[in-house]
Amino acid sequence: MRKIIVLSVLFSLTINTLFAQADSLMAMLNSGNQSQKKEIVTATFKATRIIDGNSIENLGSGVLDFRISHRFGDLNQGSTNFFGLDNATTRIGLDYGITSWLMIGLGHSTLNKENDGFAKIKLLKQRINGTPVSISYAGSISVQTTPAPSLPAGETWEYTNRLYYTNQLLIARKFSNKFSLQIAPTIVHYNLVDSTKFSNNTIAIGIGGRIKVSHRIAITGEYYYRITNADLLVNGQPTYNALSVGIDIETGGHVFQLMFTNSQGLTDRTFIGQTTDSWGKGSLHFGFNISRVFTIIKPKEFQGTGSGW
């Protein structure tokens, strides 16, 4: 009997020792982990745009994004214009991730026949229990290609009159899996404005955010408050701050963004500084962005021959 007790105690000691040894092996692995860098926070926003403006998200290296954006006409237009459907503006664009921290994009908009190009650079990444925010820089140039106006004899229409430049610093924080917020100090430079009493520079601060309501659906909001040049007139019309609310819906390869906004412009310089419609007057535009990504350059783990399953 005593032999059985001794044997069983020894046996359980053995098993415990075995598991204790597995635990101490695991501890060996964990101690190596402490020296590793803190984890990067990913997916602060679902797309590279919040609604109209840039988010701090970049495309991955070797990824191409085909984007179509539509803003329908003023809902106030009533049934004759099919509640705005008949007066839509569109932008078609291609974005490409050159590296994991640098992306570029090109686009053409029907409004003002505008061509735009931009670049977005990741400067700082938010980390878990580390760096509190992610910071990116976004800069864009756009060209209005509408025919030059007829001018009195002796005056020339400079090409540079058509150019606009936007520079933004994007600062964002993912507060939780469900909530992210971004602020974006912005300067838009207009080479030509309607009159000398307006500044050529509009300084604004954008604020945007998203609240995830399920794994694939999020509610978004964006507001650009102009600190200077808020009295800018466009063709004699007053301008307003851009305010948008929307929904992001994500399926396998697409992200659909639906929104209501008072801006019909789809480039930085139009929607930030030259929005001529207002929520107060009920002149809203329903719109959507569709984004479809393609992998152009596969990650190195997937290059070469088949996976051999």
Partner 1 sequence: MTLSLLSATLAGFGQTFMTRTGKISFNATTPGSPEKIEGINNEVATIIDAKTGNIVFQLPVKSFKFEKELMQEHFNENYMESDKFPRSEFKGNITNMNEVYFTKDGTYKANVTGKLTMHGVTKDVTVPGTITIAGSSLKASARFTIKLQDYGINVPGMVADKVAKDAIIKLESDLEKK
Binding site for partner 1 (CB under 8 A): 6-7, 10, 13-14, 17-19, 21-23, 25-26, 28-30, 32-33, 39, 42-43, 59-60, 63, 128, 177, 215-216, 251-253, 293, 295, 298-299, 301-302, 307, 309
- Residue 147 vs 306, nearer CB to partner 1: 306
- Residue 6 vs 192, nearer CB to partner 1: 6
Closest CB 309 distance from partner 1, rounded Å: 5
- Per the CB < 8 A criterion, the answer to whether 248 and 218 are in contact is yes
Closest CB 3 distance from partner 1, rounded Å: 9
Closest CB 39 distance from partner 1, rounded Å: 7
- CA distances to 11, 52, 88, 262, 271 from 76, rounded to whole Å, are 83, 21, 13, 11, 19
Closest CB 134 distance from partner 1, rounded Å: 15
- Residue 39 vs 86, nearer CB to partner 1: 39
- Residue 123 vs 128, nearer CB to partner 1: 128
CA angle 229, 158, 239 (to 5 degrees): 20
- Per the CB < 8 A criterion, the answer to whether 237 and 200 are in contact is no
Largest Cα–Cα distance of the chain, in whole Å?
A: 119
Closest CB 291 distance from partner 1, rounded Å: 10
- Residue 227 vs 296, nearer CB to partner 1: 296
Closest CB 180 distance from partner 1, rounded Å: 12
- Residue 32 vs 280, nearer CB to partner 1: 32
